[in-house]
Chain A
Amino acid sequence: MRMYDLPDKSGHFGPYGGVFVAETLIAALDELRTQYQRYRDDAEFQAEFADELKHYVGRPSPIFRAKRWSAHLGGAQILLKREDLNHTGAHKINNTVGQALLARRMGKPRVIAETGAGQHGVAAATVAARYGMECVVYMGSEDVKRQATNVYRMKLLGARVVPVESGSRTLKDALNEAMRDWVTNVENTFYIIGTVAGPHPYPMMVRDFQAIIGREAKVQMQEEYGRQPDALVACVGGGSNAIGLFYPYIDDKDVRMIGVEAAGHGIPSGQHAATLCAGRPGVLHGNRTYLIQDANGQILETHSISAGLDYPGVGPEHAWLKDSGRAEYVAATDDEALAAFHALCRFEGIMPALESSHALAHAAKLAPQMEKDQLILVNLSGRGDKDMNTVAQASGITF
């Protein structure tokens, strides 16, 4: 049997991925690809990365069995991969540590990042402080207003937050602006992309850094349960936590992989961010992938209660896993995610991020359809402290 080995040399996952950027960025991406290839196989680099993940991020993250919630749902056992316990409270830091180490080796003293809710921005600002780098974070001005706490957090860490006033003033516009900065300052600047999107080699590189999630899970499952899970469930915005869990399992064909997108107010309402469920292929932000777009090929604004899933594209590897049938993609609404958020708080004493709550919402639907001795491993990609205001607001409470 042929082992999964995508992307190909030119960064394609079947028809998806690739390098769809203006000529002005080609040389920078060539340099990044060459350098990453070199350090990908460099024992010293990998050892330093592993050491940072252990002592700075706090890995390995445990797998926790949600016994009371599973019993309440009355079906398969739900296990949680606790990425919420990482330093800074989410899986994002795995990737920013990896890219910052690479930036340092490439001699780039300045890092830039885009952010939506601010989680990736905080993770980038964190590693910039850790390694003594200048950090600029681009954030849509709408998001700056909605996420004031994270903006302050980034400033405390020494980053400069630049509000982006163009387009819809959200994540996709922040990404456009970060790309423009990179084109202009490429000599001294490393662009830390936060998800498995963008031009090659980003989708591959971010996946490789996040794959620690799935590699750990495989070992932990064997040690603690003597077997691998029947299904993996993870939320998908750009898709970095999902691919981090899925990737080491792609060749294990008897493990189901399920990505859960944000259905917002419901897919028929048009107010959602369910790119794989309801979009169609196109080209945005450097790669070919599924997109939420109108008939003219213009990118549409999306909606999700979770800012981290509120993105009109998705990583190209997910597009390929969907088309090839290896992974399944479903969607959960704002209300379903909120219900799962509250359930986990009450049954397990764990406050999940609203992003991760989408994965939990699907696990809650799936578990009762499965046998009691079956195992569902959910990637609990982040903690919910950042979402207090949103959850309170949804319950009609103001502080």
Chain B
Amino acid sequence: MSRIEAKFESLRKQNRKALIAFITAGDPEPAATVPLMHALSKAGADIIELGVPFSDPMADGPTIQRSSERALKHGVGLRDILAMVREFRRTNGETPVVLMGYDNPVEAMGYETFAAEAKGAGVDGVLTVDCPPEESSELVRHLAAQGLDPIFLLSPTTPPARVEKVAKYARGFVYYVSLKGVTGAAHLDLSELSGKLPQLRTRLGLPVGVGFGIRDGATAQAVAKLADAVVVGSRIVEEIERSARERVVDNVTALVSGLRAAVDAA
């Protein structure tokens, strides 16, 4: 059983929903990332999504794009990020880590090399947002060979036939993009969500995380009632962006603790 499966299994037994927290690796500087990962975990994040910065983040809104630009100013590359995960794993063997980014940095390293080194570093899942199932058979093959979970996106516009296709490749959980648009967009349609999710969960046979547009405790709580996991990204990255350097860890801890409480109250 993968670390991600085990996490969802244990949450299910406790009748709790997962909180998935996203930060961009290397933002605002490389040295900040491992302490932030520990802080996220301590504040109640069940899974950490670590963004791999890319020069052209087409599916992201301005907040996450700026975080990528901050990280890239420090020259943060995929190998540096794997070193961060390895460092995190020295004291945390329990919190699953998912790398989330775009195909090209992974392709530049080579799918096979990447999969082997990611496994070695302690990564659990990989989501390449611009690599839909149709284009990802080779990547998925290499990830599977290392026991890494390929994570895929689903959107409100995904037709049922594609859901089956995603179900064939996906492991760990599926990330449901809760609105049309890019990361960090303003609002989310809860009634649409409640109509779609139960069917999706049955069809997929996998936990479903919902993200894009979750900005506060109330929304997190409402989503937690419907989904297996709540994903928060842009809101945390925003907190990092507007906090003074010495306050980053404390402010992010306070924010994530609040979200944790909201999710648990669902």
User: Which A residues lie at the B interface, using CB under 8 A?
Assistant: 10, 18-24, 26-28, 30, 166-167, 172-173, 176, 179-180, 183-184, 186, 282-286, 291, 293, 295-300
Contact = CB atoms under 8 A, between A and B. Distances in A.
Contacts of B157: 24, 26-28, 186
Contacts of A23: 132, 152-155, 158, 177
Contact of B107 (A21, A176, A297): A297
Given A19-B132, A282-B104, A184 B55 contact: no
B134 A166 contact: no
Given A26-B162, A184-B185, A20 B109 contact: no
19 contacts: A10-B134, A19-B135, A20-B103, A21-B130, A22-B59, A23-B132, A23-B155, A166-B65, A180-B61, A282-B103, A293-B108, A295-B77, A296-B105, A297-B54, A297-B108, A298-B77, A298-B104, A299-B56, A300-B55
A299 B107 CA distance: 13
B104 A297 contact: yes
A79 B61 CA distance: 48
Contact of A293 (B66, B78, B104, B159): B104
A278 to B, nearest CB: 16
Given A180-B58, A297-B78, A186 B130 contact: no
B258 interface: no
B192 to A, nearest CB: 14
Kindly state the interface size class of chain B when it binds its partner: 35 or more
B69 interface: yes
A179 B59 CA distance: 8
A196 to B, nearest CB: 18
A157 to B, nearest CB: 27
A283 B130 contact: yes
B180 A183 contact: yes
Contact of B105 (A20, A24, A167, A298): A298
Contact of A296 (B78, B103, B129, B159): B78
Interface string B186-222: 0000000000000000000000000000000000000
Contact of B134 (A19, A180, A285): A19
Given A291-B104, A299-B104, A22 B153 contact: yes
Contacts of A300: 55
A184 B180 CA distance: 5
B35 interface: no
A195 B78 CA distance: 31
Interface of B: 54-59, 61-62, 65-66, 69, 72, 75, 77-78, 102-109, 129-132, 134-135, 152-155, 157-159, 162, 177, 180-182, 185
A283 B138 CA distance: 14
Contact of B182 (A19, A180, A285, A296): A180
Given A19-B132, A26-B157, A293-B104, A285 B185 contact: no
A320 B46 CA distance: 45
Nearest to B66: A166
7 tightest Cβ-Cβ pairs between the two chains A and B: A297-B108, A296-B77, A27-B157, A297-B105, A22-B59, A23-B153, A184-B181
A295 B132 contact: no
Contacts of B180: 24, 183-184, 186
B130 A27 contact: no
A173 B65 CA distance: 11
A20 B130 CA distance: 5
Residue from A24, A26, A27, A167 having most chain B Cβ neighbours under 10 A: A24
B153 A282 contact: no
Contacts of A172: 56
B181 A24 contact: yes
Contact of B135 (A20, A166, A176, A186): A20
A24 B59 contact: yes
Contacts of A180: 58-59, 61, 181-182
A183 B108 contact: no
Contacts of A24: 59, 153, 155, 157, 177, 180-181
Nearest to A313: B56
Nearest to B181: A184
